[in-house]
Amino acid sequence: MNILSAEFVVSSVNSDNWPKGNIPEFAFVGRSNVGKSSLINVLVNKRSLAKTSSMPGKTRTINHFIINKEKSPWYLVDLPGYGFANAPEKERKKWEAFTKSYLRERENLVCTFVLIDSRHSPQQVDLSFLKWMAESALPMAIIFTKTDKVKPTELEKNLVSFDTALGEFLDQTPNILVTSSSSRNGRDEVLAFISRLMP
């Protein structure tokens, strides 16, 4: 997959503002600060197309980016993070509600990437979200992030425990990709994965 262009299209909180049409779409969701916006920037080779921050809770709307607008266009979608303990409860509930509505209702959504911080053992907030994805029968793949920050043995251990935890409620383990936005490891694999799913 060659990235020829990448442009911001729209920020939204409800379906009225989602782009019309039926071009393929891929969304990035996951815990606040897990590295969704950073990974999008790495994928498209732009430093700050998606806004990033070292403080959790940066992305607070649904953000559509159009890729390769002139030739075989598709959308990348950056979503607000979940599990951000410092946001007011009301705000958190609101983000969660419109993010889940988007994931459930968006008809041209081909696959949702659920990002997981590779430095940790399985976290309840991620497992609950993955369970919701599975119960909603939404197509997904898992991307482990920040692998530059974890030793290979620790990474392997976390991947195995995660697989075991997923086995509790999933019949089949989803596709798993391993990335680092600092080293750009895994970028080509994510783009190749997207290519393969392109209708």
User: Which one of residues 31, 58, 60, 64 is an interface residue with Mg ion (CB under 5 A)?
Assistant: 58
Q: Which of residues 152-181 bind ligand GTP (CB under 6 A)?
A: 180-181
Q: Which residue is nearest to ligand GTP (CB)?
A: 81
Is residue 54 a contact partner of residue 4, using CB atoms and an 8 Å limit? no
For 140, list phi and psi in degrees, rounded to 5: -145, 160
Q: Which residues pair with 141 in a beta bridge?
A: 113, 175
Residue 106 sits in the site that holds Mg ion (CB under 5 A): no
Determine how β-strand 6-12 pairs with β-strand 62-67: antiparallel
Which positions from 54 through 73 interact with ligand GTP, judged by CB under 6 A? 54, 56-59
145 is a contact residue toward Mg ion (CB under 5 A): no
34 binds, among Mg ion, ligand GTP, none (CB under 5 to 8 A by kind): ligand GTP
Q: Which is nearer to Mg ion, 36 or 64 (CB)?
A: 36
**Strand positions, DSSP E, 89-181:** 109-117, 140-145, 175-178
Identify the H or E element spanning 29. strand 25-30
CB of 8 to Mg ion, least distance (A): 13
Cα–Cα separations (whole angstroms), residue 143 to 22, 86, 114, 181, 186: 25, 25, 6, 12, 9
Q: Which does 53 bind (CB under 5 to 8 A by kind): Mg ion, ligand GTP, none?
A: ligand GTP
Applying CB under 6 A, the residues found at the interface with ligand GTP are: 32-38, 52-54, 56-59, 80-81, 145-146, 148-149, 180-182
